Structure 1
Amino acid sequence: MVTEQGTFEFRLLGPLEAARDGRTMPLGGPRVRGVLARLLVDVGRTVSVTALVDELWGERAPGDAHRTVRTYVSRLRRALAGPPGEGCGPVLVTRPPGYQLAVEPQALDAVRFERLATEGRRALATGRPGPALEVLTAALALWRGSALAEFEGLPAVGCEAVRLNALRLTVVEDRIEAALATGQHALLVGELEGLVRAHPVRERLRGQLMIALYRSGRQADALGAFQDARTVLVHAYGVEPSPALAGIHQRILRQEPDLT
């Protein structure tokens, strides 16, 4: 977001960071950072002091929690203001009954990520895997680690972190689908094997691995990957592979031409 105070950026896709004009700003201690994270979850909307108290302490809030939150907000305002003399401007504003982070959503890397993900998914759905691959790769490049991992104990922020991390994995799968459609199967096998180890019950990844192996001339390994998937699913949940995954298995057995 560009204002008369400069360009602001807030990074949620990894350790929380705030920057102005490309310069990272120190945000203070964990609770001050927690206040900022909670405001970012509802960016552009007012978050009440009570909601901030609940986020930071829940049912164990001290008697002076409301006053303490206001102290944290004051510290956060100073942190966002930058060096003395530069001025804070209307970035963190008071809006009864609480506070609002008055920046454009585009200032958040998470918002930019979701917009790119939507654009890439639309390109993939309309038969344009090349542009989809480019856009989805750019979306994933915004990530620097697990989203908002330091705030696992905060309910609203923690829920947003779970949502973003789950969406990241879906976008990884979309990007692999686009790469498969552009003939990069041989390059994807190693990555897919690692992803399957990390997410053993994710059937879409299993199917993508089977296709990548088959297109790489490794039919036996592709069939073995299905048996591995079936073993894991039966042992973990007592269920057979989904019709989609079983369908890929049957297509490999029949060596259907369109699978290549």
Structure 2
Amino acid sequence: MTSPTAPRPAGPPASAAPPARAPKHRDFKPALARAQPPATPSPARPALQPAIARAPAPAATPVVARPVTQDAALRPWDGLRNAEFRQRIAEAERSAEHAEDGYGLRNPSSGALGRYQFVPVALRDIGWTDAEGRWTDIATAQGVTDEASFLASPAVQEAALSAFLARQEVILERLGTLGAAGTTVTGLDGAPIPITEGGLVAAAHRRGPGMLARYIAHRTETPDAPVPPAQRAAFASIEARLRGFAEVAYASDRRGNGATGGGGGPAA
């Protein structure tokens, strides 16, 4: 037990300072780096692949047209001899651009009728009308008694064209013009023009076999002879048909035909 009078041990001074810290070295990071082993690169990660592989975009699927009935697809000239030639004649006459393929068309200035623009002399040439313009028994046998019935029947007009083409071939053969098929002439512009049978028939349809024969004779026999202005226009029209139908297939239809008559003339 301690005596109350005994002196108390001395405690630390109230204002004693804390022990001094070791000085901080600012270069510890370089030292630490020297102490650590060199880092090795981690293996490269594979490139991320898309969740769904993207292939090239497929081509657009064509729209499938709805099938049409045979009656709707079949045109009056389809299945006939020289179907493409018939269509090209209608295109050249500009009648194919009209309603109903031009079958009901009538030219008010020339009187040309239908899809193939038959002028009166052409109908007379195939024996369907007489010199007075009356429809003959040949036309009546086809169901034609007037212009209205002719324009109302595509089948009748196709039959008339068949008769006309056959008639033109006969006349061209008699004139010797068909013999030019397979040759080449020099046009009015100096460019070559191939002569084909289809081109000759198409030119005769436009200007008549007589004018066509004069053209062929001029270009093969006297190409340097002057051409009168009026005849030049006819020759230019013939050349347009010869060039335009040079690549169109044409099957000859020459045969005896009860629907043909005498004389020659253009169909348009």
- TM-score, with structure 2 as normaliser: 0.23
Larger Rg: 2
Per chain length, whose mean CA-contact separation is higher, i.e. which structure has more relative contact order (CA < 8 Å, sep 6+)?
Answer: 2
- TM-score, with structure 1 as normaliser: 0.24
